[in-house]
Amino acid sequence: MNIPKLQIQSTPGRIGLTTNKPQQTIRQPKAEQSIRQPGADMSIEQRPGKLTIDQTNAWHNLDLKNVLVRSKELVGIAEQKWREGLARVSREGDEMMRIENGGNPIAAQAKRNAGFDFTFEPGGRPVYELVDLNYQPGGADISINRREPEIDARVRKPEHTYNPGNVDVRMEQMPDLKIDWKV
């Protein structure tokens, strides 16, 4: 007996793909920026200093004195001379009181009191140390007003281009199936 045989022959299908890649570019332009720094406002106010020169002692050293100073000195000298005179008169009175002790107190007192004894001392020359200098510096008022910088920045957007890719699909070989009976 002859049994028929089934014979199957298949051809696989083949797909062909062609791919075009996508293209993308991104470009970032630099930002535009400007910075300006205005100068600060500053004002300085200088008050003048005070200089005092006192040359009174230098003038006194030259014996050039004003009336008040001269009067005070003369009053002091007069008081001293008055005390010295009072002491002298008292001493001479005591000598006369003791005349019995011998000697000649009246002649001795006359001889002592007969002449003038005085000294005159003219002033010297004024020297640097006798002049009083005093300086008080004046203060300074400094005012500063700070000014902020002026910043101008313009952002530039990125430049973006995109070309999408594509895929072409095609059948390079069609599938086939053949079935036969063979006896």
Let me know if residue 138 belongs to a domain: no
Q: What length does the chain have? A: 183
User: What integer is the mean pLDDT of 159-179?
Assistant: 90
Let me know if residue 175 belongs to a domain: yes
Domain boundary among 76, 100, 121: 121
Q: Is the pLDDT of residue 124 over 70?
A: no
Number of domains within the chain: 2
* Choice among 96-100, 120-124, 140-144 with the minimum mean pLDDT: 120-124
Let me know if residue 25 belongs to a domain: yes
Let me know if residue 59 belongs to a domain: no
Look-up of token digits 């700070």 = 146
User: What integer is the mean pLDDT of 101-107?
Assistant: 82
Let me know if residue 38 belongs to a domain: no
Is residue 62 within 8 A of residue 123, CB to CB? The reply is yes
Structural domain of residue 76, as residue ranges? 66-121
* Choice among 4-13, 34-43, 98-107, 132-141 with the minimum mean pLDDT: 98-107
Q: Is the pLDDT of residue 28 over 70?
A: yes
pTM: 0.38
Going by C-alpha positions, the residue among 120, 95, 125, 126 that lies closest to residue 110 is 95
Domain boundary among 76, 105, 121: 121
User: What integer is the mean pLDDT of 33-59?
Assistant: 91
Instruction: Report how far residue 63's alpha carbon sits from residue 120's, in angstroms, rounded to the nearest whole number.
Output: 11
Mean pLDDT for the chain overall: 87
pLDDT-above-70 percentage for the chain: 94
